[in-house]
Amino acid sequence: MAEGIQWPRNAPGILEALPQSPFDAALCCAWKQRVELGLFRYRLRELQTQILPGAVGFVAQLNVERGVQRRRPQTIKSVRQAFDPEQFNFNKIQPGEVLFRLHREPDLPGTLLQEDILVVINVSPLEWGHVLLVPEPARGLPQRLLPGALRAGIEAVLLSLHPGFRVGFNSLGGLASVNHLHLHGYYLAHRLPVEQAPSKPLDPGGHLHLLQGLPAPGFLFYTRGPGLDLESLICRVCRATDYLTDHEIAHNLFVTRGAPPGKTSPSSALTGVRVILWARKSCFGIKDDPWPST
């Protein structure tokens, strides 16, 4: 897995300007093939992008076609809503929408009795390379974060050589559009404030931090990479999301290359992976929001 990934100093983070890992090459090549096959709802072109003025430096993008042509989101009534096979789910997609499968070697630490993770296109892409990570779709798992799914998301970020490849998870009531377990992955060629935002510890062991300096403080977890540290992080994060789900508290999760917790600066190195968890006000019914959807 790739280590020491950094943004280039004098070049944009576009895919063509950075080296590719085998994961990046496979994803981008297969994604481009699906574009040529016409499997997307629209042809994604260069998006209008601006860095908003202010201390935070939010990245804003305009994607009109996504707002108009995406699949109608499902009606969500509970964070713990059961899977409904009659609704749209990832067992109903076209075979060509599957790019490839992620499969863990059986002798790797932390391996669970888990089938392959399907990597499929998001037919209404938010950005270039927008994919969905779908674990064991035939099981009909509801949109509730599980350790194997989180592990796949973090390892996908670690497999990429692009610092802008991120993974996200939306709970039910947290603007998830489909009640079938999945995570989002996509390339965004811009630095984000969450990569280096400062934080303060919330526990004596320094395993849980509060992200600061942003309009929406979140819980920050950090790992330098594979091994026992990663497995411990997965356990802690899923314990937190289980609590939120069991108490009907919607949430969003974001995985990105980032600096270690604590005091940081704009030049802090992205030495590991940050997992940020936000508890949020639930939004039930049919969503109408520009956050990533299927």
Percent of the chain at pLDDT > 70 equals 89
The mean per-residue pLDDT over the stretch 208-215 comes to 94
On whether the CB atoms of residues 76 and 284 are closer than 8 A, the answer is: yes
pLDDT of residue 112: 45
DSSP letter at 260 equals P
| Selected residue with higher pLDDT from 218 and 56 | 218
On whether the CB atoms of residues 120 and 131 are closer than 8 A, the answer is: yes
On whether the CB atoms of residues 208 and 219 are closer than 8 A, the answer is: yes
pLDDT beyond 80 at 9:
no
Which of 289, 60, 71 lies closest to 188, judged by CA? 60
**Active site (annotated) includes residue 182:** yes
The mean per-residue pLDDT over the stretch 122-138 comes to 95
pLDDT of residue 221: 98
Cβ-based neighbours of 105, under 8 Å, separated by 6 or more: 111
Cβ-based neighbours of 101, under 8 Å, separated by 6 or more: 116, 117, 118, 119
What are the backbone dihedrals phi and psi of residue 253, each rounded to the nearest 5 degrees, phi first? -130, 140
pLDDT beyond 50 at 42:
yes
pTM of the model: 0.91
Percent of the chain at pLDDT > 90 equals 71
Given 182, 184, 209, 251, the catalytic residue = 182
The mean per-residue pLDDT over the stretch 64-73 comes to 85
pLDDT of residue 111: 47
